[in-house]
Homo-oligomer: A and B are copies of this chain.
Amino acid sequence: MSYRAPVGQIDFILRHVVPYDQVARTERFAEAGFDTANAILTEAGKLAANVLAPLNRNGDLTPARLENGKVRSSPGFAEGFRAIAEGGWVGLAADPEYGGMGLPQVLNMAVAEMMAAACLSLQLNPLLTQGQIEALEHHASDELKALYLPKLISGEWSGTMNLTEPGAGSDVGALTTRAEPNGDGSYRITGQKIFITWGDSDMTENICHAVLARLPDGAKGTRGISLFMVPKFIPDENGNPGVANDLRVVSLEEKLGIHGSPTCVMSYEGATGWLIGEEHKGMAAMFTMMNCARLGVGMQGIGVGEAALQQAGLYAQERNQMGPIIRHPDIRRMLATSRAEIFAARCIALACATAIDLERATGEAEHAARAAFLTPIAKAYGTDIGLRAADAAVQVHGGMGYIEETGAAQYLRDVRITQIYEGTNGIQAMDLVGRKLADGGEAAMRLLDEILDGAKSAQADHPDLAHEVWHSAETLREGTQDMLEREMPQRFAGAAPYLTAFARVLGGYYHLLAARSGGEAEIGLARVFIRRVLPHFATDLTEALAGLDDLANLDDDVLTGQSGA
């Protein structure tokens, strides 16, 4: 499996599609100019292609396993993780005060895409560690920060996110894990957590669990939840791993894919933990972790989709059936539309990351609103496209695609999780039409206005493409207005297709910007997207506005297939 990191395309997107120039002009990121950015991406691309990609198949064939209560990672993973840690990649965007490089999130996310493309199972570990670093930076006490951040940032220790319980998935507020004060500033944590990614490993000397639990006086629901730092080994007075904490891995899940990533059932049995942030404000800290992780998961979808398409494209070039099959119109259609969608998703995700950087550098609310609005789109569209691209890649291979040895099937199995974890794509869509339109549509309309303006300015260069984009944004503006006038359950019934429609219009806009500044390749991909993919936004919108009534009126027995009909 060879993988070529799309450094050139990412560099192009930073220069011509997303406002990276604004990021580089801020004081905070003054040292992260285009040349620095390119050098970082090039280095990360080499690590991904040369060190991580060769491990991907190992993870699938020799899954992480549980031996005497300890997770033994897949062959080569420990060395791969070392290479990531020693390159400083875990702390790329972290606070320099604690050893981080303080670089923009947009570079961190571009790097995340490349590493995920190369070896998704392994990359999950630094991604979740980064989420924990973010949460600590924003919410933890100085003491906790001083103790944990340097170790996490250096990759000596790794971090996990403990949210889900058997009875509390999307409904986080239903959790039953208890936290009781010990009286010395620490707490006793008791409960069971499931779906804990990299809940244990032999790659780092300590594992830091960020665990949601309820204090004795915590209210029911999400308002009574606090977040705790529960290390596998309690740090001694020198900050080194000391005595073992009262927690253990109960079992690992057998999953469809990402076999190299151990998914743990964790048991906390009076484990010692320390509060991260304030009592009962655990959800705020968790959301900090999750927002970072959500965008990161979007990048995972894009990365795996890219890797799968590369493999399929190279196969199509070599495979002869009445000439190389890459010349067959239907094969070209699959590769070209998938590639155009991957480009669109990448632009959306990097635009989201840029907004995060601008918010951090300037503190302006407008950037925060843009980042918040784009996060669910970047997550859901990025992972939907990742699935579609990996699926198309299997199909391009024909019968060989169904044979595990080819590797195409692994991409499909692996990428499938990205639509589920860190909030299913349905949850993302509800977030978009719920919370993210709660400003009366201001963030949405601001974005649509930007597209309308941008399309107008592109009219002289690319009249047909610009017209299509302008028209789609105008139609979406009307659809958004319509959506805003609806009650929440009505919105939810169309949330997923609305998210897709928005993503496609955004994708058309970014492709148009790329066509304006790019060469034949960018113009070619823009034509494919705007003429073949973008049009689907219109019927996505029709479905989005079809409302709840027809769905609500169906008998449950019809939905379960237990009626005669």
Chain A: residues with CB nearer than 8 A to chain B? 4, 6, 8-9, 12, 164, 167-171, 174, 194-195, 253-257, 306, 309-310, 313-314, 316-317, 320-322, 326, 328-336, 339, 387, 391, 394-395, 398-399, 401-405, 409, 412-413, 416-417, 419-421, 424-426, 429-430, 489, 492-496, 518-522, 524-525, 527-528, 531-533, 535-536, 538-539, 542-543, 546, 548, 550-556, 558-565
The reply to whether A556 and B492 contact each other, CB–CB distance below 8 Å, is no
- Given known A559-B326, A559-B339, contact A395–B412 (CB-CB < 8 A): no
Please name the 3 residue pairs, one residue from A and one from B, whose CB atoms are nearest each other, closest first: A8-B564, A313-B560, A521-B565
| Residues of chain B within 8 A of A401, CB atoms compared | 420
Report the Cα distance A424→B396, complex, angstroms: 9
Determine the residue in chain B with the shortest Cβ distance to A258. B402
The reply to whether A525 and B554 contact each other, CB–CB distance below 8 Å, is yes
- Given known A9-B564, A559-B339, contact A539–B531 (CB-CB < 8 A): no
The reply to whether A332 and B552 contact each other, CB–CB distance below 8 Å, is yes
Report the Cα distance A524→B403, complex, angstroms: 41
Q: List 6 A-B contacts (CB under 8 A).
A: A6-B561, A170-B321, A331-B426, A339-B558, A398-B420, A532-B550
Other-chain residue from B321, B331, B496 in contact with A171 (beta carbon distance below 8 A): B321
| Residues of chain B within 8 A of A551, CB atoms compared | 329, 332-333, 336, 528
| Residues of chain B within 8 A of A536, CB atoms compared | 536, 539, 543
The reply to whether B550 and A306 contact each other, CB–CB distance below 8 Å, is no
| Residues of chain B within 8 A of A314, CB atoms compared | 560, 562
The reply to whether B559 and A336 contact each other, CB–CB distance below 8 Å, is yes
Determine the residue in chain B with the shortest Cβ distance to A309. B561
Determine the residue in chain B with the shortest Cβ distance to A562. B4
Determine the residue in chain B with the shortest Cβ distance to A523. B553
Question: Knowing that A329-B489, A330-B429, A395-B426 are A-B contacts, what are 7 other residue pairs whose CB atoms are under 8 Å apart, sorted by A's residue number?
Answer: A8-B563, A8-B565, A170-B398, A255-B409, A331-B426, A535-B543, A538-B538
The reply to whether A550 and B527 contact each other, CB–CB distance below 8 Å, is yes
The reply to whether A310 and B561 contact each other, CB–CB distance below 8 Å, is yes
The reply to whether B12 and A564 contact each other, CB–CB distance below 8 Å, is yes
| Residues of chain B within 8 A of A426, CB atoms compared | 328, 330-331, 334, 395
Other-chain residue from B9, B329, B398, B560 in contact with A492 (beta carbon distance below 8 A): B329
- Given known A322-B171, A531-B550, A564-B12, contact A335–B255 (CB-CB < 8 A): no
| Residues of chain B within 8 A of A329, CB atoms compared | 489, 492-493, 495, 548, 551-552
The reply to whether B254 and A330 contact each other, CB–CB distance below 8 Å, is no
The reply to whether B546 and A531 contact each other, CB–CB distance below 8 Å, is yes
Nearest-Cβ distance from residue A251 to partner chain B, whole angstroms: 11
Determine the residue in chain B with the shortest Cβ distance to A550. B527
The reply to whether B333 and A496 contact each other, CB–CB distance below 8 Å, is yes
The reply to whether A424 and B395 contact each other, CB–CB distance below 8 Å, is yes
| Residues of chain B within 8 A of A416, CB atoms compared | 394, 402, 412
| Residues of chain B within 8 A of A494, CB atoms compared | 333
The reply to whether A532 and B528 contact each other, CB–CB distance below 8 Å, is no
| Residues of chain B within 8 A of A330, CB atoms compared | 426, 429-430, 492-493, 495-496
| Residues of chain B within 8 A of A404, CB atoms compared | 254-256
The reply to whether B543 and A532 contact each other, CB–CB distance below 8 Å, is yes
Determine the residue in chain B with the shortest Cβ distance to A170. B321
Report the Cα distance A239→B494, complex, angstroms: 63
Nearest-Cβ distance from residue A119 to partner chain B, whole angstroms: 17
The reply to whether B558 and A525 contact each other, CB–CB distance below 8 Å, is yes
Report the Cα distance A313→B542, complex, angstroms: 25
- Given known A402-B255, A521-B565, A551-B332, contact A317–B556 (CB-CB < 8 A): yes
| Residues of chain B within 8 A of A561, CB atoms compared | 4, 6, 306, 309-310, 313, 339
| Residues of chain B within 8 A of A522, CB atoms compared | 565
Nearest-Cβ distance from residue A521 to partner chain B, whole angstroms: 3
Determine the residue in chain B with the shortest Cβ distance to A526. B550
| Residues of chain B within 8 A of A333, CB atoms compared | 493-494, 496, 551
The reply to whether B554 and A332 contact each other, CB–CB distance below 8 Å, is yes
Report the Cα distance A322→B521, complex, angstroms: 49
Nearest-Cβ distance from residue A465 to partner chain B, whole angstroms: 11
Determine the residue in chain B with the shortest Cβ distance to A423. B398
| Residues of chain B within 8 A of A174, CB atoms compared | 321
Other-chain residue from B6, B253, B306, B560 in contact with A403 (beta carbon distance below 8 A): B253
Nearest-Cβ distance from residue A285 to partner chain B, whole angstroms: 22
The reply to whether B525 and A546 contact each other, CB–CB distance below 8 Å, is no
- Given known A254-B404, A329-B551, A559-B339, contact A518–B565 (CB-CB < 8 A): yes
The reply to whether A521 and B555 contact each other, CB–CB distance below 8 Å, is yes
Determine the residue in chain B with the shortest Cβ distance to A536. B539
Nearest-Cβ distance from residue A215 to partner chain B, whole angstroms: 22
- Given known A395-B424, A404-B255, A496-B333, contact A169–B321 (CB-CB < 8 A): yes
